[in-house]
């Protein structure tokens, strides 16, 4: 057995209250094994303890953490290993790949420097030997022009390329165990597919084992041999991947499988964890009927956006991010916009809102061109078109309470006769999005990611908007929290007649919420149609590729390994 975790407990010291040290128990007696040449997946929602369990292996935990139990790596208990010994194991025997490569890669060092460091430290290579090996590793992980890319800095590479560099760093010393902590969560479906195929191929090539951490059972089903399901710091179920998918025993495992949007089913609402555990069923159907004669509330005609970069001493180079986009959005309907990273979908959404000034075209709102409005008219119009961003923590002011966050836009736009009336409106909106009055006096850091996204949606609703632009607004959320937010968006649309422009790289999510889909590639609209017909019979190869990249879970064989 390569690694054996036995009765692991992890607690965090939270400070003293009345002279007594307070501890929060994050991992409660977890035990599982990782055999040689196998992939074990740790699955669960945020807060389940899966990352704390994985980071305990190499003691990559904060100073206030306390660990008990045994972590046996090739028979050696890592909990009793000295720091110098542990530093010799980190990177050499056990390596890590994290979710966000930009926080893991040093922005002031070149790619070559970062791959060479473990080679020179652990393998005793000279700088010249390490540079040669770094080029080989970049080639192995599929980076084009590896020799040229050695001198690049992390910010000069795409998200997928950054993650490949992280994998190259992790594999530099041919470790026996690779810990991959949500390595594909922030990537679009095609890049996610490429990274998963790469990791599966490298695992086989290097004869290593992998601990793969994820909240998405669809991804896990395609890459793992064994699955360990965690909730609230405890293991709820562990079994071979086929058994988890075809015969799950625990209600929580069944709930995780049920709450992800599907490309094949068409429920009016998504199952959430509590629904499934309580035995509440969600019936299939089309939801509230849409009005086929609903008026067009927003129309784009020939929308363009270019960016210009300096070239040479006096010249400049044009980059066309959005090229001639046309669509109509009816009142109460949802337009899904899909495409890979760099396809122009977010730039198109921000240009509609004039957060990027357009380079051409028209955006008609009830027949008036938003792009030609002066500052006064545009300020009045802004309350009618709002935006929800991907990262709610970055878009909420950390110094404002939630009450201040919700009241401020009403004060700016003169909504409500008094402060008390605005507070009452804020309180009512929090109830609409599933939060209570106690949230008003709290700060953003006191909430989970899903709750912060609900607050961001409530802030939009303070202005009684008619159109919401949702830019990857659920992509960073757990599948269960994602289901709650998607159900909320449908409920709000039914109640207020809202129209959505829903930007996403996840076609399963787009299928659930959208009436029409617009597919973008390199700034162009390559396909546009009613949702069901487009996903049932896509006309373009690019759309078929996007559909083919969606993780579908365990299908009786590892699709990733087969593709690799």
Q: pLDDT 10s per residue in the chain (564 long)?
A: 899 999 999 999 988 888 888 888 999 999 999 999 999 999 988 778 898 999 999 998 888 999 999 999 998 999 999 989 998 898 889 998 887 777 788 999 999 999 999 999 888 899 999 999 999 999 888 888 889 889 989 888 877 788 888 888 988 888 999 999 888 776 777 777 887 888 888 888 888 999 999 887 888 888 899 999 999 999 999 999 999 988 999 988 888 888 878 777 777 888 888 777 777 665 544 456 788 888 999 999 999 999 887 777 778 888 888 999 999 999 999 999 998 877 888 899 999 988 888 999 999 998 889 988 888 888 888 888 989 887 777 788 999 999 999 999 999 888 888 999 999 999 998 988 888 888 899 998 888 777 888 888 889 889 889 999 998 888 767 777 788 888 888 988 998 899 999 998 888 889 999 999 999 998 999 999 999 899 888 999 999 988 888 877 766 655 454 444
Q: What is the DSSP letter of 506?
A: -
Please name the residue that has the structure tokens 């679009």. Answer: 188
Tokens of 502: 């829903």
- The candidate with the shortest Cα–Cα distance to 443, out of 390, 393, 482, is 393
Q: Which CATH superfamily is domain 331-357+368-548 in?
A: P-loop containing nucleotide triphosphate hydrolases (3.40.50.300)
Domain boundaries, the chain: 1-93+176-258, 104-174, 331-357+368-548
CA distance 476 to 328: 28
- The candidate with the shortest Cα–Cα distance to 438, out of 403, 408, 411, is 403
Q: Which CATH number is correct for 1-93+176-258, 1.10.10.10, 3.40.50.300, 2.30.110.10, 3.30.70.20? A: 3.40.50.300
pTM for the full model? Answer: 0.80
Helices (H), 98-158: 101-104, 111-122, 127-140, 146-149
CB 501 within 8 A of CB 350: no
Q: Do domains 1-93+176-258 and 331-357+368-548 have the same CATH topology?
A: yes
Q: What is the dihedral of CA 158, 160, 163, 167, to 10 degrees?
A: -130
CB 306 within 8 A of CB 320: yes
CA distance 22 to 20: 6
């Amino acid at each position: 057995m390569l690694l054996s975790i036995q009765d692991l407990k992890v607690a965090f010291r939270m400070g003293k209250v009345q002279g007594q040290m307070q501890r929060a128990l994050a991992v409660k007696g977890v035990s599982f094994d990782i055999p040689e040449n196998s992939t074990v997946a740790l699955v669960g929602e945020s807060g389940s303890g899966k990352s704390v369990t994985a980071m305990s292996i190499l003691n990559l935990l904060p100073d206030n953490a306390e660990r008990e139990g045994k972590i046996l790596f090739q028979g050696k208990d890592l909990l009793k290993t000295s720091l110098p010994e542990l530093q010799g194991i980190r990177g050499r025997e056990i390596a890590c790949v994290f979710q966000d490569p930009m926080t893991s890669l040093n922005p002031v060092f070149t790619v070559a420097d970062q791959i060479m460091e473990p080679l020179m430290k652990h393998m005793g290579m000279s700088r010249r030997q390490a540079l040669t090996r770094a080029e080989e590793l970049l080639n192995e992980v599929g980076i084009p022009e590896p020799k040229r890319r050695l001198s690049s800095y992390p910010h000069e590479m795409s998200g997928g390329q950054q993650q490949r560099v992280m994998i190259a760093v992790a594999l530099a010393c041919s470790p026996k165990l690779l810990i991959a902590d949500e390595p594909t969560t922030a990537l679009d479906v095609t890049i996610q597919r490429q990274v998963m195929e790469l990791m599966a191929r490298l695992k086989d090539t290097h004869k290593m084992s992998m601990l793969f951490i994820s909240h998405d059972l669809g991804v896990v089903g395609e890459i793992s041999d064994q699955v360990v399901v965690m909730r609230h710091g405890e293991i709820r179920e562990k079994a071979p991947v086929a058994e988890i998918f075809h015969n799950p025993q625990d209600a929580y495992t069944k709930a995780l499988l049920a709450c992800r949007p599907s490309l094949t089913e068409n429920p009016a609402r998504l199952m959430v964890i509590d629904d499934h555990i309580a035995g509440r069923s969600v019936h299939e159907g089309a939801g509230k009927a849409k009005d086929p004669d609903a008026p067009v509330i927003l129309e784009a005609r020939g929308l363009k956006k270019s960016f210009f970069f300096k070239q040479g001493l006096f010249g400049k180079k044009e980059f066309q991010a959005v090229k001639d986009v046309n669509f109509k959005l009816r009142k109460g309907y949802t337009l899904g916009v899909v495409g890979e990273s760099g396809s122009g979908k977010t730039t198109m959404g921000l240009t509609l809102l004039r957060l990027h000034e357009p380079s051409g075209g028209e955006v008609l709102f009830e027949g008036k061109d938003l792009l030609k409005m002066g500052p006064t008219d545009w300020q009045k119009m802004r309350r009618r078109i709002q935006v929800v961003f991907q990262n709610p923590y970055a878009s909420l002011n950390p110094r404002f309470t939630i009450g201040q966050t919700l009241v401020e836009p009403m004060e700016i736009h003169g909504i409500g006769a008094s402060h008390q009336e605005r507070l009452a409106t804020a309180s009512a909106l929090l109830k609409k999005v599933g939060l209570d009055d106690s949230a008003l006096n709290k700060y953003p850091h006191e909430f989970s990611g899903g709750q912060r996204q609900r607050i961001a949606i409530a802030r939009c609703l303070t202005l009684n908007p008619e159109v919401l632009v949702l830019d990857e607004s659920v992509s960073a959320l757990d599948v269960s929290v994602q289901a709650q937010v998607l159900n909320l968006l449908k409920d709000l649309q039914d109640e207020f007649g809202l129209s959505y422009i829903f930007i996403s790289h996840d076609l399963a999510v787009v299928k659930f919420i959208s009436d029409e889909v617009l597919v973008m590639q390199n700034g162009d609209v390559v396909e546009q149609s009613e949702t069901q017909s487009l996903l049932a019979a896509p006309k373009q190869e690019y759309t078929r590729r996007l559909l083919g990249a969606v993780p579908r879970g365990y299908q009786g064989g590892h699709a990733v390994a087969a593709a690799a």
